[in-house]
Structure 1
């Protein structure tokens, strides 16, 4: 992947994060219209599979190498399945707790788990020690979602 300047990287990440808030309410509407949450999950993923297949066909390089595949950890292809769990959870529960509480809970859980991943270098990530600032940020996230969920 090309190196992006932070000038462009952070706005793209912020847009991606903002767009993530759209997914659960959209999937909730899909579930309500379809009636079957499992079928709605499949329908939700079909446009993604189609779009990525088109991109892969149009931009097929680089192709994986045997060496790269041999070095790949067993768990590497499971990221999509983990993401599917989040999609299904949104499909099933965002209508009950609200978009703000759902997003806040998932983002807070994401931040807390990300701190664990950073601290221990899980999944091949570079170790980033827990600092007082990171811990304070985590505490504020938990306090914030508590307030959002309660009120």
Structure 2
């Protein structure tokens, strides 16, 4: 089971191989690939440091416990009609995205995110809406 916080659901949808460090990107790629190849993988939604945060580089300013990150987690879970403590499959997460999310939601919910300007998350949401699933990372 993969433990994820709310905002990482959108980060995984937009992930294309980049990250805060090589170790961070490799960890996220491993999680991303597991979900892409096995959409029935179980996800437990948690509040706080998850399997992605645990590889955040030690030399960077740690933001995983900042209130604005917790606020973004809540916004995204509310948007998806999900809640902390819930266990579901990645396939079910994608179904919630198709039901409740548009690419334009990224501009509103993730307006502070430094990755937003790359446009990857909006593209990833559109892929999910089109039924294509997660990007293949090469």
Report 1 or 2 for greater relative contact order, CA contacts < 8 Å, sequence distance ≥ 6. Answer: 2
Bigger Cα Rg: 1
Larger relative helix fraction? 1
TM-score (structure 1 length as normaliser) = 0.32
TM-score (structure 2 length as normaliser) = 0.34
